[in-house]
Amino acid sequence: MTGWGLGLADAARERELLLRIIDTISQGLAMRPLAQGVAELITDATDTDVCFVHVLDADGLGLTLMGATPPFDEAAGSIRLALGEGVSGWVAAQAEPVVLVEHKRADARYRYIPELRGEDYTSMASVPMTSRPGIPVGVLNVHTIERRDFTEIDLRLLSSIGRLLAGAVENARLHERLARREQARERFAAQTVALLEAERRRLAAEIHDGISQRIVGLSFHLSAAAEAVGTDPVFAAGQIDAAGDLAAAALDETRRAIAGLRPSVLDDLGLAAGLESLARSVGEVPVTVEVDLGEVLLPDHVETALYRIVQESLQNVVKHAAATGAVVRLRAVEDRVELEIGDDGIGFATATPRPVGAGITYGLAGMRERADLIGAELSVTSGPGGDSATGTTVRLSLPAHAASPRSPGSPDRGV
């Protein structure tokens, strides 16, 4: 095998390699095929034996092997390292290259991964893939079976390749994120239609089975009273009383049906006072409410969703938490509106939720659905349950553009 340093010093060969990599990147491949194609190009052009492309996860806490030369390509997607773990994790955390000429296991940073058969290779070079100075998006590793002294020229070339690949990785990640967002919007639209249809069916059933039946009965009683008013005043009075009872019942059912769409307390008092009223209605558990939206005015459908999420959360607190207190916080923070419902109860294992229909999990599914429909992110943190009072916190974060600034003449709405 020829010495790599001599080959890389050839400017024409270097340009050819970079052009081939640019051509691969410009094909707009998804992340894994992109990493795979570049890995094979690098080993082919640099006389190295194997190349691994590790990509930093979106949360920045770990690396995933995204591409590798055969036979290790089958491991792509299944090898993960925490940030700082192994040589690759160290390079990602420090944004500095590492060269191990031999005796890799003697280096404290090295971690042996059986699937990658590190014992078959003597030397390695690892460089960060950076799109901006000091901000890596991944790590590029090359290995050789024979001992190899990697030069500064070698590292500069690998770093140049890493920068090219880093930009492509960020573009691929952005494309995947946009694709997921579009899919999510399609799901949300389908959920919205399903919810609207469910609401229509609910209203139709309530009107047909309840309100309309009472109105029919009301009509019968009034007709009977009208016929008997001249001949049997006592009977007519009884019919009128019965009609009055039916009218009151129909009015109550109408109010319940309307409340199912939007709580009337929001129109009467505003969101802040509505949440205060909701907190008082819990009764069994003291609830503190803190609302500070500043100049932000929430649209009606967002207010309704937030109210229902708080309502479901507090119901879960009462039914499942065994809590001695809870707090509801709603505030505007920089470019977001944030809602938090926390309790000091026993918590539950969020990683192993109860089956749907077992109360709290079903309620969480409904809350997530409501959050999705207003473009908000909802998360739940909780202890594992048991005897320790670890508590549960529901957090919702909504982009400020989903709300609107309060105009000078707009009503306070209790916020």
Counting Cα atoms < 13 Å in the Cβ hemisphere of 276 gives 9
Task: State percent of the chain over pLDDT 70.
Answer: 82
User: Does residue 234 lie in a domain region?
Assistant: yes
Q: State whether 306 and 394 are in the same domain.
A: yes
User: Does residue 35 lie in a domain region?
Assistant: yes
Q: What is the pLDDT of residue 405?
A: 45
Distance between CA atoms of residues 89 and 209, nearest Å? 64
Query: Among 174-183, 210-219, 276-285, which range has the highest average pLDDT?
Result: 276-285
Q: Yes or no: say if 73 and 36 are a contact pair by the CB < 8 Å rule.
A: yes
Q: State whether 248 and 296 are in the same domain.
A: no
pLDDT band at 386 (very low <50, low <70, confident <90, very high): very low
Closest CA to 191 of 361, 316, 371: 371
Q: Show which of 205, 240, 261 is a domain's final residue.
A: 261
Give me 164's structure tokens. 């090219």
Q: State whether 224 and 274 are in the same domain.
A: no
* Average pLDDT rounded to a whole number, residues 260-273: 79
**Residue 41: pLDDT over 50:** yes
User: Model pTM?
Assistant: 0.46
Per the structure, the count of domains in the chain is: 3
pLDDT per residue over 198-241, tens digit each?
777 777 776 776 777 778 888 888 898 898 888 998 898 998 98
Q: Show which of 145, 180, 215 is a domain's final residue.
A: 180
pLDDT band at 10 (very low <50, low <70, confident <90, very high): low
Q: State whether 156 and 196 are in the same domain.
A: no
Query: Among 212-216, 252-256, 314-318, 409-413, which range has the highest average pLDDT?
Result: 314-318
Q: What is the pLDDT of residue 347?
A: 82
User: Does residue 414 lie in a domain region?
Assistant: no
User: Does residue 20 lie in a domain region?
Assistant: yes
Q: State whether 41 and 175 are in the same domain.
A: yes
Query: Among 250-259, 333-342, 347-356, 394-403, which range has the highest average pLDDT?
Result: 333-342
Q: State whether 223 and 279 are in the same domain.
A: no
**Residue 34: pLDDT over 50:** yes
User: Does residue 54 lie in a domain region?
Assistant: yes
Q: What is the pLDDT of residue 170?
A: 77
pLDDT per residue over 51-69, tens digit each?
999 988 877 888 999 889 8
User: Does residue 160 lie in a domain region?
Assistant: yes
pLDDT band at 259 (very low <50, low <70, confident <90, very high): low
pLDDT band at 365 (very low <50, low <70, confident <90, very high): confident
Q: What is the pLDDT of residue 388?
A: 42
- Any residues with CB less than 8 A from the CB of 187 and at least 6 apart, and which? 372
pLDDT band at 289 (very low <50, low <70, confident <90, very high): very high
**Residue 3: pLDDT over 70:** no
Give me 117's structure tokens. 């058969």
Q: What is the pLDDT of residue 343?
A: 92
Q: State whether 256 and 282 are in the same domain.
A: no
Contacts 24+ apart (CB under 8 A), 43-48: 43/69, 43/142, 45/13, 45/16, 45/17, 45/20, 46/4, 46/7, 46/8, 46/17, 46/142, 46/154, 46/157, 47/1, 47/2, 47/4, 47/7, 48/4, 48/142, 48/143, 48/144, 48/148
Q: State whether 361 and 271 are in the same domain.
A: yes
| CATH code of residue 46 | 3.30.450.40
First to last CA, the chain: 74
* Average pLDDT rounded to a whole number, residues 98-117: 92
- The better pLDDT of the pair 200, 140 is held by 140
Residue 49, domain extent: 4-180
Q: What is the pLDDT of residue 203?
A: 73
**Residue 403: pLDDT over 80:** no
- Looking at residue 77, the DSSP 8-state letter turns out to be T
Q: State whether 232 and 321 are in the same domain.
A: no
* Average pLDDT rounded to a whole number, residues 156-168: 83
Residue 252 corresponds to which amino acid?
Answer: D
Find the radius of gyration of the CA atoms of the chain.
32
pLDDT band at 123 (very low <50, low <70, confident <90, very high): very high
Q: What is the pLDDT of residue 295?
A: 82
| CATH code of residue 399 | 3.30.565.10
User: Does residue 316 lie in a domain region?
Assistant: yes
**Residue 406: pLDDT over 50:** no
pLDDT per residue over 332-364, tens digit each?
988 899 999 999 988 875 444 443 334 455 578
- The better pLDDT of the pair 402, 238 is held by 238
Mean pLDDT (the chain, rounded): 80
User: Does residue 415 lie in a domain region?
Assistant: no
Comparing 122-131, 339-348, 397-406, which segment has the lowest mean pLDDT?
397-406
Q: State whether 256 and 375 are in the same domain.
A: no
* Average pLDDT rounded to a whole number, residues 289-311: 89
Q: State whether 251 and 284 are in the same domain.
A: no
* Average pLDDT rounded to a whole number, residues 401-405: 55
Q: State whether 36 and 130 are in the same domain.
A: yes
Q: Show which of 261, 292, 320 is a domain's final residue.
A: 261
